[in-house]
Amino acid sequence: MLRQPVLRHIARSPVVTPNVIRPHVPCRAFRTRGAAGNGTKSLDSLNIQRINEESSEYHRNRRTFLWCGAIAGVVSFTFTAYKLVQELKKQPTKLDSSLPTSDPLSGADAADRKVVVHDEDGREIVPTGNSTVPTFPRTIDLPSYTSPLSPEPVSTAVTTTAQTTTEYTLVGLGLRTVTFIGIQVYVVGFYVATSDIAALQSALVKKVNPIATTLVPGERDQLRTELLDPEQSGKVWDELLAQGIPARSAFRVIPVRDTDFHHLRDGFVRAIQDRTKQHANDDNFGEAMRQFRAIFNRGSVPKRKELLLVRDETGKLSIAYDGSKSKKTDRQLVGVVEDERVSRALWLNYLGGKAVASEPARKSIVEGIMEFVERPIGTVAAQVVPVVKI
């Protein structure tokens, strides 16, 4: 007999029905009114203008980023190239040599010395590093120029005393460039009369050490610093030139591109005026500048033609030009300026001051002078060594 709780459990058990395949009845889901309202609200909140502005801003920022990357790449490439050029310009490392001690190239300063080659005629020439004007002669022979006392313009009333000549020795040279892109104008070399080098040696040595006959390395460094300093160099050379040291010197100018006398005159006049402002109201100096301008009232100056600026022991400036078409030297005197202040200012344009016409030329001249003062006074320094024949 079954107990009552068991019967109640059986009664509540589900009735098991046989498996019956029921047909699939599709169902349709309906959105509630609240869901439909939210969908309509999201569509209404779309702002086409704002989306367009965000897209434009994105592309603008992308272009800005790409331009910044391109500019940074160009700057880094330029800076790397600049540093590479600076490293290549540094002095090469001096290595041990097997050359005998008597050989000129075995000295401690052999790597810093200028190199002289010989041309086909056996004359000593110095490479300039420029393809248009590749070489400068180590020495040149110049006559003494005189100007007769005449009321005629000085540019026409000149003669040349060519019976005797004086040898001039190259001290240094360099390239004159203009504008920030470095347009090459001419190669200029500074020559000193060989017999006057001893006086230049003595003056520079005594300036550093009054009791010395030659300078030791520390003293040479002191002199080099003064001759390259924007302020001190002008004072040193102005004092020397005012004393007539060196007594006879010359600047040899060779254009590397076709130019004319007027273009050269403008550059020279600006340089002179910048260094003679205290003489602006001096009538005599004004007349000297008029004479200087008149000398350059000429035509063209083709490239590779020689223009000489010669200063004598009195400070007189003589200007000679070799415009011959043949290879033979044919210098013609074109003018003379007697006022010493004109030639002194023109010399300072290359030798001293804040802004010189050619910084490479000034550095080369200073190094040439260093080779003079490292040897006893009265001996001409062997500043170049012939090693190649071309």
Q: Can you tell me the mean pLDDT for 23-28?
A: 51
Would the pLDDT of 293 be above 90? yes
The rounded radius of gyration (Å) of the Cα atoms in the chain is 42
Cα–Cα distance measured from residue 344 to residue 332, given in angstroms and rounded to the nearest whole number: 22
Per-residue pLDDT, 312: 93
- DSSP helix/strand/coil, 337: strand
CA distances from residue 318 to 274, 341, 390 in whole angstroms, order as listed:
21, 13, 33
Q: Higher confidence at residue 222 or residue 280?
A: 222
Answer yes or no: are the C-beta atoms of 173 and 128 closer than 8 Å: yes
pLDDT at 181: 81
pLDDT on residue 4: 57
Distance of CA 129 to the CA centre of its chain: 14
What 3-state class would DSSP assign to 6? Answer: helix
Give the model confidence (pLDDT) of 165-207 as tens digits. Answer: 899 999 999 999 988 788 899 999 999 999 999 999 999 999 8
Given a cut of 80, is residue 110 above it in pLDDT?
A: no
**Window from 106-110, 155-159, 253-257, 332-336 with minimum mean pLDDT:** 155-159
Q: What is the pLDDT of residue 50?
A: 85
Q: Looking at mean pLDDT, say which of 9-18, 117-126, 223-232 comes out highest.
A: 223-232
pLDDT at residue 172, as a whole number: 94
Residue 1: is its pLDDT beyond 70?
A: no
Average pLDDT, integer, range 85-114 = 53
Label residue 386 by pLDDT band (50, 70, 90): very low
Task: State the Cα torsion 231-235-240-243 to the nearest 10°.
Answer: 160
Residue 209 has pLDDT above 80, yes or no: yes
Per-residue pLDDT, 229: 93
Q: Read off the pTM.
A: 0.67
| Percentage of the residues of the chain whose pLDDT score is greater than 90 | 50
Share of the chain above pLDDT 70, in %: 73
pLDDT for res 48: 83
pLDDT above 60: residue 123:
yes
Instruction: Over range 48-76, report the average pLDDT.
Output: 90
pLDDT for the residue 151: 36
The pLDDT, as a whole number, for residue 376 is 83
The pLDDT of residue 368 is 92
Distances (CA, A) of 339 to 266, 315, 336, 343, 346: 19, 7, 9, 8, 12
Place of tokens 């033979």: 328
The answer, yes or no, to whether residue 111 has pLDDT greater than 70, is no
In the β-sheet with 124-127, what is the strand arrangement from edge to edge? Answer: 135-137, 124-127, 114-118, 384-389
More confident residue, 119 or 267: 267
